[in-house]
Amino acid sequence: PNAAGEDFLIYARRLLKLSDEAWASVTRPKETGSVRLGVPDDYAAFLLPPVLSRFAEDHPLVTVELVCEQSTALVKTLAEGRLDLAIVTRLPDQPLEVIRLERFVWVASPNHVAWQTDPLPVALFEPGCAARMNVLQALGGADRSYRCTYSSASLLGLVAVVQAGLAVAGLAQRSVPPSLRIIGANEGLPVLPDLEIGILRNPLSTTPAVDRLHDFLRRDLAQQA
């Protein structure tokens, strides 16, 4: 094309860009405010980043206040009115709509063989945690003696102990760092049940911002691979 044609093409592209921006400005939801969201720290690390990124693009005026605690603590915090939403692992007999199953696996240090120790040294999340209950239930149903050598509310705390070769642990598969290896039946360990994940909502939290994040989380968490 000649110079005039090139200039016209540049202007046309600018007009299209402005048109797209104007349409996005008109159609983008205008919710404002803040939402208090509770989530266990291991889920915050691998489930939330892509979800919150997409939510911020669609709802840039909504602030999300993140609170990281274990599921049982989040249930209590929400009941006290200090949270709007909470992503939790379902506890035994807890009424909860399960929107996602997360594979739960044994992990160990690649440089040690802690699973060969008798009794089996196990690092656990602190009492009341659903992941801890799942591990103890699996071990209780297996013909394998064990002892709890470490207990922590923190994913990083468990990883440090396992990486040092002091114990094995159960973790959500997507939260297993490269510094650990997944083990299982070949090492004589029982199968761990999947973690059942759902969302709790404070019935008094009825703002449009809470509605939008609740709907967004239900859809995106269910669809994540």
- Give the number of domains in the chain: 3
Do 17 and 37 share a structural domain? no
Rounded CA-CA distance 112/164 in Å is 8
CA 172, 161, 135, 111 dihedral sign is: positive
Do 162 and 86 share a structural domain? no
Question: Could you tell me the residue range of the domain that residue 53 belongs to?
Answer: 31-97+202-223
pLDDT digits (tens, 9 = 90+) for 56-111: 999 999 999 999 999 989 999 999 999 999 999 998 788 888 999 999 999 999 99
**pLDDT at res. 144:** 86
Q: Strands of 195-201's sheet, edge to edge?
A: 62-68, 33-39, 85-89, 195-201, 98-102
Do 119 and 46 share a structural domain? no
Do 189 and 132 share a structural domain? yes
Kindly report the CATH number assigned to the domain that includes residue 175.
Answer: 3.40.190.10
Do 159 and 80 share a structural domain? no
Instruction: With a cut of 50, list the residues of the chain below it in pLDDT.
Output: none
**pLDDT at res. 23:** 56
Do 142 and 180 share a structural domain? yes
* End-to-end Cα separation, the chain, in angstroms: 47
Do 91 and 51 share a structural domain? yes
Do 156 and 80 share a structural domain? no
Do 2 and 43 share a structural domain? no
Do 170 and 122 share a structural domain? yes
Do 121 and 167 share a structural domain? yes
